[in-house]
Structure formats: structure tokens, C-alpha cells
Amino acid sequence: MFTLILSIFVLGILGFVFAALLGYAADYFKLEEDPRLQAIIKILPGTNCGACGSASCHNFAERLIKGEVQVSGCVAGGAEVAEKLAKFMGVEGLVVHKKLAIIHCGATEKQRKKKANYNGVKTCQAADLVDDGGLFCAYACLGYGDCYCVCPFDAIRMHEGLPIIGRDKCTACGKCVEACPRKIISLRLFAKPYVIACSSRDPGAYVRKICPVGCIACKICEKEAPELFKVIDNLAVIDYTISDIDGDKAVEKCPTKCILKF
């Protein structure tokens, strides 16, 4: 019993001494820190995603004070954080467009035509290496959800073998763009409501055979709204620099419905 009390006593004293020493040292060796630093860190999302190019949110805040990065530099925070930072740092006249990740494939698992059964490791990265993952279309989403796995913001969910990006959660950090082995995810400005849900550069006749929702390069959209749509390399492309032209008719007339409107 005596040993028990003694050991509690000794360890307690030791712990107390070290705590007191550390507390005193923390005060004595205190570094003068810019008071703005903590305020900026509070504004930042704090996920340390690294999409801005800085190592962490702390690092970004330090560089912001030094003037090395812009207030709009935080990719994950988007317009909201940029606005708050601009207000805090006294920067005016800032326009920030919200960017979103967009998946350029609209074929669900049933719609993708298979030439073989892929039984390997269930990741897009692995499936892409083996004869296009058993799909006829070399541009189709493989549907194993590599993008879903890397998304740090929980913005992607899988539905019928297709990733669906939640617009309010997506911060355009670009992790999914990197993760996709087929390179069919891109970051686009939210201001434009049209999306081409296909990346196939195969000739139209071939696409028609293998996919019910692929772009067959029929050029109907180009006829309806020539400023907005262009067919390049057998694929319709949207000119994202034009925002005021109405392309609804083209969306309606698209025979395979591969142009989506948000």
C-alpha cells in the first residue's frame, strides 16, 4: 500500500514538475507571431488538401501574409473563403468563379458494352491497364470509383456505376482529376450550365454501335448554336469563354442526349 501511494506521489510530482517547466518554457520562449495568422487559419477550410500548392493551410496563411499568394488562392474554399479573406486583408474588386469537377461520360454500368469480363483488382487504375477494362469504349468511365475514394470532401457518390458529383460539396481541388486513369474528369466554371457527358474521340459510326449515350459527332449542336459548340476530333466541345448564348435547343436536339444541362 505504501509503495502504491509513494509511486503515485512520485509520478505525480514528476508530471507536475515537467508540466510546470513546459508551461513556463512555453511562456518564456514565446515567439512573436503575426496576429493575423491565426485569424486567417480560422477562415481557411483547414483540410490541408494542398490543392493551392502550399504544404498546409498554415503554410498558405503564412505565404498570404508575405504576399506570395493571392486571397483567391484557396481552391478548396472557393468563392466564399476568397471573399472573406479579401475582406480581412483589405483587397477589393475581386471576382471569383466557382469551379466544379465534371465527369465527361454518361454511360451507366448497363449502357457500357463489354467485350470481356474484368475480374481483376477493383480499381480504375488497375482495370485501365488490362485491355480498357474489358469495355469497348476506351473513353468510358470504368466505374470502380477511384475518384470516389480520393475525394477529401465526400462530394462524389457512385450511382449505377457512374460517379455523381455533389455540386455544393465539390471544391474543385482536382484530386479526382488526377486519380482518373482515363482523364475524363475536368474542372469547369460553374457559370456555364452545359456539359458534354462524353469524351469519345472514336468515329460516330463506331460510337453508335457501342454506346447509347455517346457523342457521335453529328454536328447538330454545332448547327443550333455555332458559337457555343464545336465538334473537334469527333467530339463536341463547349467554348467555356461564352456564357450568354442559349444552347437549350441544341441540348434538346442532341440525338444521343449526351449534352447535359444543369
Partner 1 sequence: MELFGIFFAAFLINNILLIRFIALCSFFGVSTKLDTSVGMSSAVIFVMTISSAISWILYHFILAPFHLEFLRTATFILVIAGLVQLEELYLKKMIPHLYRAMGIYLPLITTNCAILAVAFLAIDYRYNFLQAMVYSLGVSFGYSLAIVLFAYIRERMALAPIPKWFQGYPIAFITAALMSLAFLGFTGMFGL
| 11 lies in the binding site for partner 1 (CB under 8 A) | yes
Please state the closest distance from residue 185 (CB atom) to partner 1, in A.
29
Helix H or strand E segment including 80: helix 78-89
Please state the closest distance from residue 15 (CB atom) to partner 1, in A.
6
In the complex with partner 1, the residue whose CB is nearer, 8 or 116, is 8
Which residues have CB under 8 Å from 117's CB, separation 6+? 134
| 20 lies in the binding site for partner 1 (CB under 8 A) | no
The answer to whether 174 and 75 have CB atoms below 8 angstroms apart is yes
CA dihedral 89, 100, 164, 136 (to 10 degrees): -150
By CB under 8 A, which span of 21-29, 137-145, 190-198, 206-214 interacts with partner 1? Answer: 21-29
| 6 lies in the binding site for partner 1 (CB under 8 A) | yes
By CB under 8 A, which span of 24-32, 85-93, 116-124, 129-137 interacts with partner 1? Answer: 24-32
By CB under 8 A, which span of 10-18, 86-94, 184-192, 236-244 interacts with partner 1? Answer: 10-18
The answer to whether 137 and 113 have CB atoms below 8 angstroms apart is yes
Rounded to whole angstroms, the Cα distance separating 101 from 105 reads 13
| 26 lies in the binding site for partner 1 (CB under 8 A) | yes
Contact pattern from residue 27 through residue 66 relative to partner 1, giving x for each residue in contact according to CB under 8 A and a dash for the rest: --xxx-----------------------------------
| 15 lies in the binding site for partner 1 (CB under 8 A) | yes
Among 165, 166, 199, 204, CA closest to 183:
199
Q: Which amino acid is at 150?
A: V
Residue 114 per-residue DSSP state? B
| 119 lies in the binding site for partner 1 (CB under 8 A) | no
In the complex with partner 1, the residue whose CB is nearer, 31 or 205, is 31
Rounded to whole angstroms, the Cα distance separating 203 from 216 reads 7
Q: What angle do CA 153, 198, 176 make, to 5 degrees?
A: 20
Own/partner pairs for 222-227, CB < 8 Å, 24+ apart? 224/249, 224/250, 224/253, 225/249, 225/250
Helix H or strand E segment including 221: helix 220-224
Which of 3, 117, 119, 241 is in the footprint of partner 1 by CB under 8 A?
A: 3
In the complex with partner 1, the residue whose CB is nearer, 26 or 205, is 26
| 125 lies in the binding site for partner 1 (CB under 8 A) | no
Residues that bind partner 1 (CB under 8 A): 3, 6-7, 10-11, 14-15, 18, 21-22, 25-26, 29-31
